[in-house]
Structure 1
């Protein structure tokens, strides 16, 4: 990571963080705020609305990852509650987008077999015996294998 200085249209000097290629003779740069949708934070009107430095953004992401609530994060960082809420929502949206991009298990030509399954029971009023799923953490082990005509079931 390197600090670069550029002049904008008004002639003001702007410091920007960028990543530079480490190969000998390669002079390519990649600016974090310009080519990364997460660090630019575009508001509803389509304007770049992030007045936070990269250090403050990473700090807010750290609080979100450690599941600290909005009120405590706002108090500890000195940011407005609205700002913290917006960044937490942005972090959640990034996770939702990644899950939507994942493909489903199985598909054409792939058989999904469940080898072991562990179901949890439900008890009322904390009475009755424990079910198998209540004693150990629930795990589901799946194996995916392509369909082949060579296999024979004996």
Structure 2
């Protein structure tokens, strides 16, 4: 059996991957070392068996190919793209360019700077950012937040994001967002909502906050004015905030600052919000962690054979 890399890094080690941009460039200095790096980290297939004749395939140099190599069967002559089934499959960019984009995205570099450094057009870069944010969104869907419970306190608050007036003086109303933070653990969740009346918000809270939770809100009187039977069903206790409690306001400040810097528009608001939540959940080493979840969702280890 032919292997691109003799060893494949265990998936969990990606979460601890600590590498500088300089070292990444040195380790992927040409086409083959880039291919080997990706195979070693489980991001492209490391081995392949021909589906037609069941013969092990090997890597074949192909100058006309965008990756410089393809999988080839020495017995029947079948070939397959090196990046088939991987996160990189639908892109015409070089693999090293995509790795650089992933690294610079992880470092939260300005998109203008990344476009210049990688030689990738702003439109193409935006498409790649959306692909990365799709991974963040899948992570959030597969790892839903649960907070609160008996003897636990959750602070909630609502705010409008991307509310602004454009250069022509036209007002854009922005998007209401419900924010929730568990005070002991700092677990947070943000959910776009159409309305912020208590009757609309309460079922949204119930998706993420366990029954029996003490909920701190500036609008506790609105929630306590709801029918008693409805409050009993959810099992929440709504109380006014103390002067020392302003956790959600601090998070709003961080979120709004990031959205202002990105100049986010209505079309990609949700994906930016998901990226913000992903970074808050992951906390650090964003490059290693985004590689881990790309590897998780694009499982090239199951690509021992290809359908031709």
TM-score interval for Structure 1 and Structure 2 normalised by the shorter chain? 0.3 to 0.5
What is the TM-score with the length of structure 2 in the denominator?
A: 0.26
Structure-1-length-normalised TM-score: 0.48
| Structure with the higher helix share, 1 or 2 | 2
More strand by share: 1
